[in-house]
Amino acid sequence: MNRRHLVAGNWKMNTSLEEGLNLLKTIALDYPKLKQNQELIIAPPYIHLSDFQKADLPKSIKIAAQNCASEHSGAYTGEVSPAMLADLNISYVILGHSERRSYFGESHDILKRKVDLSLEQGLTPIFCLGEQKEERQSGSFKTVLLKQLQDSVFHLDAESFSKLILAYEPVWAIGTGLTATAEQAEDTHNFIRQEIAKHYSETLADQCTILYGGSCKPSNADELFAQPNVDGGLIGGAALKSADFLAIAEALIRQKQ
């Protein structure tokens, strides 16, 4: 097994350009020595992407967009297409974040289009999936997760699917301080991997990077990353403090080969 392990910081709608570049600089100066199959990813606000791409960054730090349009080009005021991101040499794009799904009404079908267009442009989607609190409590969460996979990414052929990164982000854990226990994360990641194995193959399932997101922080990162099916984290709040983000990166290095 040779999965990619990574820690990605989703800065959401935070930081001025100056604050963001300072934070990026601190991370780039102090980041721990990563192993060959490990990377750090930073997703700043859209408007800063171009400046971030120009920053002199080590090879193992990559820049991601937090979203992209579901159309290639045209009269879509305010939107930014995957082709425009590719033009800036952006490597990754976060898709299907629960905030996009719930506040901006992004349906499974819209996400499917975004996934397809991003892959066409050579971007790596970090595709988020996760259940609401009631769905966890009622036990229906696995059906919900499976539908998110089926409706937005399982139409891909095996080669295209192998380019995706998945991020399991239970909605009840995002920004709430409530983290899935390491056991819940492991059990859910294992479920997702089994579904990939059923739909594609054991090999593809084994190679797929599945991140955990939702109140991941220095105090729980080791325990989460120690789980065999958790390949790193998608970090929100804790990614805005360089010390916390770097401590989470160190946890990844400690826990993963």
| Minimum gap (Å) between residue 50 Cβ and ligand PGA | 23
221 is a site residue for ligand PGA (CB under 6 A): no
24 is a site residue for ligand PGA (CB under 6 A): no
- Residue 65 CA to residue 109 CA, distance in Å, equals 20
Tokens of 13: 């709608």
Q: Of residues 157-216, which lie at the interface with ligand PGA (CB under 6 A)?
A: 169, 174-175, 213-216
Nearer to ligand PGA, 188 or 200 (CB): 188
97 a catalytic residue: yes
- Residue 216 CA to residue 225 CA, distance in Å, equals 10
Query: Rg for the chain (alpha carbons), in Å?
Result: 17
183 a catalytic residue: no
The two beta strands, 38-43 and 165-168, are unpaired
Q: What's the distance, CA 242 to chain centroid?
A: 18
38 is a site residue for ligand PGA (CB under 6 A): no
Catalytic, out of 99, 135, 169, 186:
169
Nearer to ligand PGA, 196 or 235 (CB): 235
Residue 68 in contact with residue 81, Cβ under 8 Å? yes
What single-letter DSSP state applies at residue 43?
A: E
Burial (CB count within 10 angstroms: exposed 0-12, middle 13-18, buried 19+), residue 46 = middle
3-class state of residue 193 by DSSP: helix
Q: Which stretch binds ligand PGA (CB under 6 A): 24-32, 69-77, 157-165, 228-236?
A: 228-236
Nearer to ligand PGA, 200 or 246 (CB): 246
64 is a site residue for ligand PGA (CB under 6 A): no
130 is a site residue for ligand PGA (CB under 6 A): no
Q: Which residues bind ligand PGA (CB under 6 A)?
A: 10, 169, 174-175, 213-216, 234-238
